[in-house]
Amino acid sequence: MKRVTVLGATGSVGTSTLDLIERNPHAFEVVALTANCDVEKLAAAAIRTRARCAVVADEKCLPALQERLAGSGVEAMGGAHSVCDVARMGADWTMAAIVGSAGLKPVMAALEAGGTVALANKESLVSAGEVMMAAARAHGATLLPVDSEHNAVFQCLDRTAPRGVRRIILTASGGPFRATPKEAMRDITPAQAVAHPNWSMGAKISVDSATMMNKGLELIEAFHLFPVAAEQLAVLVHRQSVVHSMVEYVDGSVLAQLGTPDMRTPIAYALAWPERMETLCPPLDLATVGKLEFENPDLDRFPALALAMEALKAGGARPAILNAANEVAVAAFLAGRIGFLEIAAISADTLSRYDPAAPETLDAVLAIDAEARLYAAERVKDCVA
C-alpha cells in the first residue's frame, strides 16, 4: 500500500489523480486531500477515498467543511499552514497540484518530509528552482515531473549517459491562437483563451497556454529538472499534441514519448514509478491521427515566450518576478480587467522595474514574489484607468 496525499485535489490534475487512485483501492491509502475552498468536491472525495484528513486553504471555508464531514471519520482542517502541515505528514507519495505560487510552501514542506513528490505545480520550480532542488537533495526526496512535457523527457532520458544529451526539445501545441494574426489578438476574450484545442485544464494554465507563457515557464522548469544548460533547451510547436517532448542525443538519436493528450498518462507514470499502471486513456491510433506537424514558435506573436526565455538566461530573481507578474496579469485578464496582450506587457514591465538579488531561501523567493505582485497590480490599475 502506498500512502498518498493530493495537494490541490479538486482541480484538473487533482481530479485525474484521484480517478487513478480510486480505480486501484488496494494499492493506495489516502492520507490527506487539500483544496482552496471547494468544500463540496473536497469532502465528497475525502469520504469516498476514506482520507485521514481534508484541508481547505481558505480558513473561511473550514466551518462548512467541518459540517460536511461531521461523523464521516475524516478530520477537517483549515488554513494555508494546515496545507503545509499535512504536506509534511510524510506520505510515501504526494501529488503537488496546487495552482500558482500558493503551491510553493506546500511543495517545500513535502520535499522536506523526504518522500516522493509528483510535481504538477511548475510555478514552484520557476520561482524557486534552485531552492527546491537543493531541498530535494538535502532531504533525500524524489521529485517526479508530472507536467506532460517533462514527464516525457524523464521517460526518454538515458540516465546512464547524461553527457550524451545534445538538446531537450519541448513540444507546444501552440494553444488556441497558434494561427491567429497579431492584429486579432487584441480582442481575445477569457472564454476564447481558456478553450484549449487539445487539453482540458484549469483556467490559469489554459491562459498560459494561450499566451505561450506556459511553454516559457516549462523551459525554466526543465532547466531545473534536467542536467542541461539553458542553450540546450528548445521549443517546437506541434499542433497535434501527440509527441509530448523529445531528447536528442549526441549520436543523432532522438527519443520521444508519444500518447493521446490525457494527463492521466503522466500522472499514472509518476504514481506507479518505477513500475507502470493501466489507465483508461484511449490508446494512441497514429493511423487516425495521420499527420504529425512541427514548426518553430513565433516569438513576435507570442512575446510571453520570448520573455520567459530571457528570464531563464538571466536567472537570479528574474523567473520569480516573471511568474508573479504573470499570475497577477492572468487573474486580471480572467476577471475581464485587462486585455489579452496586456498579460505579456505587464510581465515585461514588472521585469523592467524591479531587479533584486538572486534569492537563496524560500522566504527570499516569497518576498520577491510579493513585491513583484505589487508592481504588477499597479500596472493592472493603470490599464483599467
CB–CB of 155/22 below 8 Å? no
DSSP characters over 217-248: HHHHHHHHHSS--GGGEEEEE-TT--EEEEEE
Q: Is 97 in the site for ligand NAD (CB under 6 A)?
A: yes
Q: Is 132 in the site for ligand NAD (CB under 6 A)?
A: no
CB–CB of 111/132 below 8 Å? yes
Q: Is 99 in the site for ligand NAD (CB under 6 A)?
A: yes
Q: Quickly list H helices, the chain.
A: 12-22, 39-48, 62-69, 80-87, 104-112, 122-139, 148-156, 182-185, 190-193, 203-211, 213-225, 264-272, 286-289, 303-314, 318-334, 341-353, 362-384
User: Shortest gap between Cβ of 12 and Mg ion (angstroms)?
Assistant: 12
Grid cell for residue 122: 511548475
Q: Which residues carry a binding-site annotation for 1-deoxy-D-xylulose 5-phosphate?
A: 122, 148-149, 173, 196, 209, 214-215, 218
Q: Which residue is nearest to ligand NAD (CB)?
A: 11
Q: Is 12 in the site for ligand NAD (CB under 6 A)?
A: yes
- Match 550524451 to its residue by C-alpha cell: 164
Q: Is 135 in the site for ligand NAD (CB under 6 A)?
A: no
Among 147, 248, 262, 327, binds Mg ion (CB under 5 A): 147
Q: Which of 204/373 has CB closer to ligand NAD?
A: 204
Q: Is 319 in the site for ligand NAD (CB under 6 A)?
A: no
Binds 121, which of Mg ion, ligand NAD, none (CB < 5 to 8 A, cut-off by type)? ligand NAD
Q: Is 57 in the site for ligand NAD (CB under 6 A)?
A: yes
Q: Is 14 in the site for ligand NAD (CB under 6 A)?
A: yes
Query: For residues 58 and 64, what is the distance between their CA atoms, to the nearest angstrom?
Result: 11
Query: For residues 104 and 129, what is the distance between their CA atoms, to the nearest angstrom?
Result: 10
- Stretch 195-224 residues interacting with ligand NAD (CB under 6 A): 199, 201-202, 204-205
Binds 36, which of Mg ion, ligand NAD, none (CB < 5 to 8 A, cut-off by type)? ligand NAD
Contact mark string toward ligand NAD, 257..296, x via CB under 6 A: ------x---------------------------------
DSSP characters over 44-103: HHHHHTT-SEEEESSGGGHHHHHHHHTTSSPEEEESHHHHHHHHTS--SEEEE---GGGG
Residues in contact with ligand NAD by CB under 6 A are 8-14, 35-36, 38, 57, 83, 97-99, 102, 120-123, 147, 199, 201-202, 204-205, 263
Residues interacting with Mg ion, by CB under 5 A? 147-149
